[in-house]
Structure 1
Amino acid sequence: MRCNSSNTTKRPTIGFIVYYSAFFLLCLFPLKGFSQDGDRTVDALVEMGFENVGWADDGNERIYTLQNSAYRLNGVGIGKAVDVIREIGLPEGKPCRIIVLDNNIPQISLCFLPVWEDSVYTGERRDWHVSYDLGGTWKKMRKVKKKNSSLFKVDILVYPQLSFKNLIITQIYQALFDLSPAIEVSLWKGMKLTGQLVIPVYNDGYGRLEEVVHPGHLTVSQSFRLPYNVFGKLTAGFFNANQYGVDLDMAYRFRDERFSLLARVGATGNGYWDAFTYHYDPTISFTWTLGGSFYWPQYNTQFNLKVERYLQKEVGAKFEVIRHFRYCSIGLYAMKAKGININGGWRFQVALPPYKYKRTKHWPRVMLSRNFGILYNAGNEQQYYKQYKAEASDNIMKENSFNPYFIKSELLNF
């Protein structure tokens, strides 16, 4: 007696097996090609010295991540990366996006849409759109394994520091020149630890405390990016201007990326180093900044207007205009508080050579700081309008280094 069933099992024929095997292999061939292109591009970028390099392809868009650790100037480094991706890693017939990181935090993205000229597929520098918008792709890249991680790698940056003042009628200038090496290392995403040592080279009129070796900036900072293009950094430790405490710096970038809102608040106290002994006043006071910024892309010029509370508790307004070039940033500023004379001056920041450097395996890199700057107090104000710098690397040139309009101009003018 047989059991009858409506379901019968058919053995696959040899032709059926051959057909589907061939179909499966044909599907794998283009994927293998995509993988080879992406892997070759990542390896080439790592060989050049870029860090946190990865890639992914979801069928609709190819995505690369990278961090410029090979070139002193971000615009130059990103341009070199675009050239490599164009030559060996550009997908055919679909968009490509580059997400640029800073200490593993996404800053900007460059997006390329396919362009055909005379039946030739191109990806020239001028064809890439630069923006703070990540295009919804960053979530896809979080789980992608990246090569040449920046974590736990040590940089030793030597900061040349020059101060001068004109307060004695019989002497043109009194001057102070220091070489201040700083160890900078990242221990997790967005975090940076800085330990700086101030080594006096020349001191004329700046007092006994500046005659001896003493610590400079000793800080730990955490950078972050929130939704809606909100960027921030929280820093704690020992700052300059004889301050210690906590500082929070925030910026919101509008959809029209020429406009930004700026906010900053600090809770700090007074203190100073006598060699390696720290003396401090436990009284904490608050400083803050609230303002806006406009960027004029045609001339790479930035205009800032802020209301601020300074270290002597005076509240005033500050206006800045800063022109950014490839190798330097130059600006003018003016400040006015109620009952206090107007003050102003100029400032500049210059990129220091060498402009290209490469890390040898995991050995610490020793080099000059990325740039050198001076702020000139033309009003000779000695008591009011005082501010501090939370991190040794903070300056006007660094603040503009990921500006989409500035990066785009660097791509076009290389």
Structure 2
Amino acid sequence: MTMRKLLMVFLFLAVVAPIRLFAQTKPGTVDIFMGADFNYRDIYFNNRVYDVLLNLTPGIKWNMGHRWEVAAQVLVPVVNQYGDRYKKVRLNMAVLSKQLAVGQHWKMKLSGGLFGSERYGLDWKNMVAFNPWLAMTVQVGLTGHCSMAAGWEASPMRRLTAQVGPEVYLHRWNTQLSVRGGRYLYGDYGIVGEGYRHFKHVSVGVYVSYSDKGKEDAGFKVILMLPPYRRTARKVNIRPASNFRLTYSVEANGYANATYFTDPEQNERTGWFDRDLLPWGTDRMTPDFTFKEKEATR
């Protein structure tokens, strides 16, 4: 599919297709937030067990209404043992996105702009919920390389990626299982299986994967939703990032089954969509964050 055809599909689905829109909470609000991005890797040629890269990740989101959103994020290196390429303050993400629902079972998110993992382009995420415990997810992207780490680096938007697979949610144990396979960022084909146990404000998961280039891998992930859990809703909100993610990989191969994020706060606990858009899975759990209106001043 050419870039022009994919862009036409994007516009058609966002504007023309018959859809059912759900009321969006707090249109017109702006969130300014701060998080941290922690990276480490095994090293064999110096006296350190690991190299560490720690970035602060200030970001902003503008809820434009009707589920349109603009989001951006900057990387600010604090501890850098990865080398000169990672020493600059740089833009990491700048994305325009639109969420919508088709009927009672299909929801989607369309995004365009600068994504994580030094990619730019278009992305289309989908979930079809067959019943309260079974759903199917599909993600398709057309991207190119774009980095501001060492000057301006960019390539044409020609890399087509796609992942598809089922998700199962066991409500009694708040346990989520998923399998996705497809084509990934560096042209490899692979499959990833994940399992998560969701607790109050914390999710813990394990995964196994196979790639035709990176072969077998496994690891675990921890997602911690950050306080305060009760927040005041204002037009402009200044807060911590919603979550902190930590991933451990046995093989630490960053080029196998690699993908990108289109939201600065994207994580496996909250998924791709607003929790009130056709709720499924963790959307039906007690929310991590509750909001109170700011008291009017006299």
**Superposed CA RMSD:** 2.3
Partner residue of 1:319? 193
Alpha-carbon separation, structure 2, partners of 1:207 and 1:339: 26
1:357/1:199 Cα in 2 relative to 1: closer, same or farther (>3 Å)? same
Quote how far apart the aligned CAs of 1:405 are.
5.8
User: What is the CA–CA distance in structure 1 between the aligned matches of 2:28 and 2:281, rounded to whole Å?
Assistant: 32
State whether residues 269 and 282 of structure 2, in contact with CA within 8 Å, keep that contact through their aligned partners in structure 1. Answer: no
Report the alpha carbon displacement of residue 181 of structure 1 after superposing the two structures with TM.
1.0
Q: 2:51 aligns with which of 159, 174, 179?
A: 174
Deviation, 1:409, is: 5.6
Match of 2:232 in 1: 358
Which residue of structure 1 lines up, in the alignment, with residue 243 of structure 2? Answer: 371
Determine if contact 1:183/1:194 at 8 Å carries over to the other structure.
yes
Distance 1:242 1:192 in 2: 20
Please identify the structure whose Cα radius of gyration is greater.
1
Distance 1:219 1:409 in 2: 28
Identity of aligned residues (%): 22
Task: Check the 8 A contact 1:292/1:304 in 2, yes or no.
Answer: yes
CA contact (8 A) 2:124 2:139 kept: yes
CA contact (8 A) 2:92 2:118 kept: no
Corresponding residue for residue 328 of structure 1? 202
**Aligned twin of 1:390:** 262
CA distance in 2, matches of 1:233, 1:283: 20
Partner of 2:28: 152
Counterpart residue identity of residue 38, structure 2: L
SS at structure 1 position matched to 2:60:
strand
1:287/1:366 Cα in 2 relative to 1: closer, same or farther (>3 Å)?
Answer: same
CA distance in 1, matches of 2:40, 2:213: 27
Q: How does 1:189-228 map to 2 (within 5 A)?
A: 189-204=66-81, 206-228=82-104
- CA 1:404–1:219: 2 relative to 1, 3 Å: closer
SS in 2 for 1:199: strand
Q: Does 1:272 align with 2:147?
A: yes
Is the alpha carbon distance of 1:246 and 1:405 closer, same or farther for their aligned partners in structure 2, counting shifts above 3 Å? closer
Contact 2:76–2:90 (8 Å) recurs in 1 = yes
Q: Is the CA contact (8 Å cut-off) linking 1:209 and 1:273 kept in structure 2?
A: no
1:102-251 paired onto structure 2 within 5 Å: 150-168=26-44, 170-204=47-81, 206-251=82-127
Whichever residue aligns with residue 267 of structure 1, its letter is: L
Gaps of 5+ in 2: 1-19, 288-298
CA distance in 2 between partners of 1:306 and 1:218 (Å): 26
1:249, 1:264 within 8 Å by CA — same for their partners in 2?
yes
Question: Quick one: distance in 2 between partners of 1:209 and 1:177?
Answer: 14
SS at 2:269's partner residue? helix
Please list the CA deviations of residues 24-67 of structure 1 after superposition, one character each: whole Å capped at 9, or x if unmatched.
xxxxxxxxxxxxxxxxxxxxxxxxxxxxxxxxxxxxxxxxxxxx
Richer in helix (by share): 1
Distance verdict in 2 for CA 1:408–1:219, change over 3 Å:
closer
Three-state SS of the structure 2 residue aligned to 1:399 is: coil
Q: 1:305 to 1:238 in 2, by over 3 A?
A: same
Match of 1:349 in 2: 223
SS at match of 1:209: helix
1:295 is aligned with what amino acid? Y
- State TM-score, norm by structure 1: 0.59
Distance in 1 (alpha carbons) for counterparts of 2:69 and 2:253: 34
Mapped partners of 1:297, 1:409: distance in 2: 9
Which amino acid is 2:71 matched to?
Answer: T
Q: Which amino acid aligns with 1:231?
A: K
Q: 1:266·1:286 contact (CA, 8 Å) conserved in 2?
A: yes
| TM-score computed with the length of structure 2 as normaliser | 0.81
Q: Deviation per CA, 1:322-366, whole angstroms, max 9, x where unpaired?
A: 111111111111111336420121111101111111134x3x211
The aligned counterpart of 1:293 is: 167
Shift of 1:252: 0.3
Aligned AA for 2:127? Answer: A
Residue 10 (structure 2) aligns with:
none
Amino acid at match of 2:233: R
Counterparts of 1:359 and 1:336, CA distance in 2 = 44
Change in 2 beyond 3 A, CA 1:318/1:407 = closer
Task: Give the structure 2 partner of residue 111 of structure 1.
Answer: none
Q: Which amino acid aligns with 2:86?
A: E
SS of aligned partner of 1:262: strand
Measured after TM superposition, the shift of residue 207 of structure 1 is 2.2
C-alpha spacing 1:280/1:227, structure 2 compared with 1 (3 Å) = same
Q: Distance in 2 between matches of 1:405 and 1:391?
A: 20
Structure 1 residue 296: Cα displacement = 1.2
Aligned length: 263
Instruction: Name the aligned partner's letter for residue 271 of structure 1.
Output: C
Task: Describe the SS at the equivalent of 2:232.
Answer: coil
Query: Which letter maps to 2:146?
Result: G
Q: Give the Cα separation in 2 of the matches to 1:175 and 1:313.
A: 28
C-alpha spacing 1:312/1:408, structure 2 compared with 1 (3 Å): closer
